[in-house]
Amino acid sequence: MGEYRNLDWRDIAPLIPRSDDYAWKLYESDPIRRPYILEAIEFLQLPEGSRGLDAGCGIGLQTMLLADAVGPDGHVTGLDISQGFLARGKDVAGKAGYGREIDFKHGDIYGIPFEDGTFDWIWSADCAGYQTRKPVPLIRELARVVKPGGMVSILVWSSQQLLPGYPLLEAHLNATASGIAPFTSGMAPEMHYLRALGWLESAGLEQPLAHSLVGEFQAPLEEAVRAALLALIEMRWPDVRSDLPPEEWELFERLTRPGSPQLILDVPGYYAFFTETLFCGRVPA
């Protein structure tokens, strides 16, 4: 399932307590997310030896991939508001052998604890753009810590088809409060995170660009991929029971509960995909 430098993916499991539910889901979903994360990083062509910030780094898995991209003479700082995530990230990166190339810092992306122009680039996956605060000031804050000519990039969830054969159920799941989060009913259309190109332009960034990446899967599924897909489904539609009619909730449970005789992943010829979209722009030189 791949390695992070000197650490096999499976060897990360003992460093992430299962009691830390969301951190465990980040780890468990990694096998299906890592390929397109690598594709997104490659698309950015980060300069070798450059210095970057992973804003909202979680447990540091992407921080390590970013460090690999900039090479041994580069450096990546992982920033997160969760002390628990940072502790996991330090443990994992340390065991994988990322010594001086990575460090971690506690802080909020709305008030980044670094001086202007500290970094050559900034990356934020599934974090910046998901909040309900005003997005343009956030983009300006991200850009503030990047040097002139440097890149600001954010990666956001954009679509999925995970329940083949149940389009009505999946449409209803997408329309729940969790399904449209962090967007909420009544918010202005320009606040939706897929309007990020407009945010970049309004924040004064140049060369705004969007690029979508696809993760796709088909039967037969490896065990790690099965577990990753179930973790992804849980993260995609949490707490939806109150938003669904009882019969739809029961169907959703039957399709997604491990061990269920109707588990969707056991359907012959199962195929699914999801997309994330990378939005990026450059700080004016």
Q: What is the structure's pLDDT at 84?
A: 94
Fold adopted by 3-160+186-214+275-282: Rossmann fold (3.40.50)
Domain extents in the chain: 3-160+186-214+275-282
Q: What is the pLDDT of residue 184?
A: 86
pTM for the structure as a whole: 0.94
pLDDT value of residue 3: 66
Q: What is the pLDDT of residue 1?
A: 42
Give phi and psi for 146, each to the nearest 5: -105, 140
Q: List the chain pLDDT tens, one digit each, 285 residues.
A: 456 887 888 999 999 999 999 999 999 999 999 999 999 999 999 999 999 999 999 999 999 999 999 999 999 999 999 999 999 999 999 999 998 999 999 999 999 999 999 999 999 998 876 765 689 999 999 999 999 999 999 999 999 999 999 999 999 999 999 999 888 888 889 888 899 999 999 999 999 999 999 999 999 999 999 999 999 999 999 999 999 999 999 999 999 999 999 999 999 999 999 999 999 999 999
pLDDT on residue 131: 66
